[in-house]
Chains A and B, each alone.
Chain A
Amino acid sequence: MHILACVKQTPKSDNVKIDPATGCLIRSGAESAMNPFDEYALEEAVTLKEQVGGTVSVITMGPPAAENVLRDSIARGADKVYQLGDMAFAGSDTWSTSYALSKGVEKINAGQKVDLIICGKQTNDSDTGHIGPQISAWLGIPNAAFVRRVVEVGENSITVERLTEDGTEVLQLPYPCVISVVKEISNPRVRSVKGRMAAKRAEVVKWTADDIGADKTKLGVKNCPTRVVKSFAPKRDSNAVEVEGANGKEKAAKLVELLKENKYI
């Protein structure tokens, strides 16, 4: 089985700071790492490979430094890694990014057909959750999002559980298909020494927009359908009211009074 995990290099969530004056992200000094949701996707890919055999490939789209997350993927058990890098991709929204990734998948398919594509639920920088469903749309293949468990990996199809607000739905998807997974799916392992060594030596396959045969009129900040026209820091009043009282009991009574007074309860 050939499993492809999609990953993205994003700022480490702990290090995100916003300049209160400009509302812009302070990127200097911010470390980057694999999007935490993608760690679960990659771990599940490696776990499934260990169960049924096969190959785990990893693809990312990003600037040259994004090579780091691909090497990290090797350390975490991936076999082959692919980087889509080209100025033509810069500033792409999810529509364009998913298009580029789908073209990358087609190129990988030409070498060894991909059976299962696994994406994280969303990224920690743009939080859209679009990429999994959208890759499947470009490729015209079935998908499921919010997948919490793989029930069965069959010869021709995979059975998964996906989370809904009120429970769980069980779906059977034939290969090739795309699943986007939530944290519950796996526990990312510690990178092995052997893996770290392999990561240093691994070959990162690098492709440009032309290499994957992408239509450049669909790529980049000028051509993608959506645009960020404004960004700003959210209003956050840090005027916490300290609820006073001699002890917990008094404070509790005061709190209930305040909540009632303001009609919160």
Chain B
Amino acid sequence: MKDWKNVWILAEVSRGKLSPTAYELLNAGRALADALGEKLCAVLLGKNVKKFAADLFEHGADVVYVCDAPQLENYIDDVYAKTLAGMIKQYKPNKFLLPATNMGRSLSAKTAIFAGTGLTADATEVLINKEDGQLHATRPTFGGNLMATITCAHTRPEMCSLRPMSYAKAERTLGRSGEVVEFAFNEQDFTSLAKFLKFIKSEGEGLDLSEAEVIVAGGRGLGKPEGFALLEKLAKRLGGAVAASRAPVDSGWVEYRRQIGLTGRTVKPKLYIACGISGQIQHMAGCSGADVIVAINKDPQAPIMKLAHYAVQGDLYEVVPAMLEALEK
């Protein structure tokens, strides 16, 4: 296994934009590379993606592997996974971090089989074990009720998808540069039976939840769909996004993509304001990673009043407008 060297990260590009997860992975990967005394390398896959290399160097990459081809314009699991597995076979990375985004979770899973190696899903912390240099990836399981540390001792690369917003973004050093390596792809890997037909942008206005540093979420306690307009105001004022617990989604007040929790999405904002949410374990599984949780609830006995960092007992229809007022001062 001595031939397997360096720490790789996948710099996800989607619809011509570099995902902010790339900077988080560079930050996490830098610590791993330094602990091993190896290089930190980023992988770019897509159409017209080479231009992002300079940005990746400035955020800590020593080498950027590029596979730039028109056939990679849209994400098709087969095509991306075969190409990545081909790159792994040729360059033999030691560790490989991918973003646990929708694309990254699916892609990492398929690639691990093609590359014949183990994968840890949705980790929130990655470390190098000093004794043997192995990757120790720690992740929440059972909907966040249990943490598990997972290793992959005998195959390389040790692969891991890392939950978005688990790590801060790498700092930028202007003018820092590195080496670009263009992958001589095999065009056969680009053939898939699957066809990408089109992309439809989300109807919902506003910031994507995975990128929001502030999330204002509403639950059953809102009592009516119009309550979300109020939460929207607060979210806007704080530069954040609106989300929901399961009840309002099941009632059709909010679209499913905004549901936080076990059956919805997991988020890790700096600030999570839960309005009229009781705090069932299934909901908390999706938001317990927030730096700070504020609960606004009429019921002092609601579980969330103990799970939150700040508990405000009161009517959200009184508290939220008063918060907006206080924020104006």
Chain A interfacial positions (CB closer than 8 Å to B): 11, 13-14, 16-18, 23, 25, 36-37, 93-95, 98, 124-134, 136-138, 141-146, 148, 159, 161-174, 177, 180, 182-184, 224-234, 236-243, 247-249, 251-253, 255-259, 262, 264-265
Contact = CB atoms under 8 A, between A and B. Distances in A.
A226 B210 contact: no
B208 A165 contact: yes
Nearest to B327: A256
Interface in B257-305: 257, 259, 262-264, 270-271, 281-282, 288, 291-292, 294-295, 305
B299 to A, nearest CB: 13
Contacts of A124: 142-143, 262
15 contacts: A129-B105, A130-B119, A130-B121, A133-B81, A146-B102, A166-B208, A171-B196, A174-B193, A182-B256, A226-B120, A228-B149, A230-B148, A240-B308, A243-B310, A252-B326
B203 to A, nearest CB: 8
Nearest to A168: B200
Nearest to A232: B147
Interface in B189-205: 192-202
Given A171-B195, A240-B307, A256-B326, A226 B143 contact: no
B247 interface: no
Interface string B299-329: 0000001111111111100111011011100
Question: Which one of A11, A14, A256 has the greatest number of beta carbons of chain B within 10 Å?
Answer: A256
Contacts of B168: none
Given A168-B199, A177-B193, A183-B264, 20 more contacts: A14-B281, A128-B122, A133-B81, A137-B81, A137-B110, A143-B110, A144-B77, A161-B200, A165-B101, A167-B200, A170-B196, A173-B195, A226-B150, A226-B152, A227-B153, A228-B150, A243-B311, A248-B314, A249-B325, A259-B294
Interface of B: 14-15, 74-78, 81, 101-103, 105-107, 109-110, 112-114, 117-122, 136, 140-155, 192-202, 208-211, 214, 238, 256-257, 259, 262-264, 270-271, 281-282, 288, 291-292, 294-295, 305-315, 318-320, 322-323, 325-327
B202 A168 contact: yes
Secondary structure of the A side of the interface?
mixed
A145 B271 CA distance: 29
A248 B200 CA distance: 42
Contacts of B14: 164-166
B66 to A, nearest CB: 23
A107 B84 CA distance: 30
B292 A183 contact: no
A166 B152 contact: no
B13 to A, nearest CB: 13
A238 B306 contact: yes
Given A168-B202, A173-B194, A133 B146 contact: no
Contacts of B109: 94, 128-134, 137
A143 to B, nearest CB: 5
A255 B312 contact: yes
B199 A169 contact: yes
Contact of A228 (B142, B148, B201, B294): B148
A226 B155 CA distance: 9
A142 B78 contact: yes
B310 A238 contact: no
Given A133-B110, A231-B149, A171 B288 contact: no
Nearest to A223: B154
A230 to B, nearest CB: 4
Contacts of B151: 226-227, 229
A190 to B, nearest CB: 16
A133 B147 contact: no
A238 B107 CA distance: 37
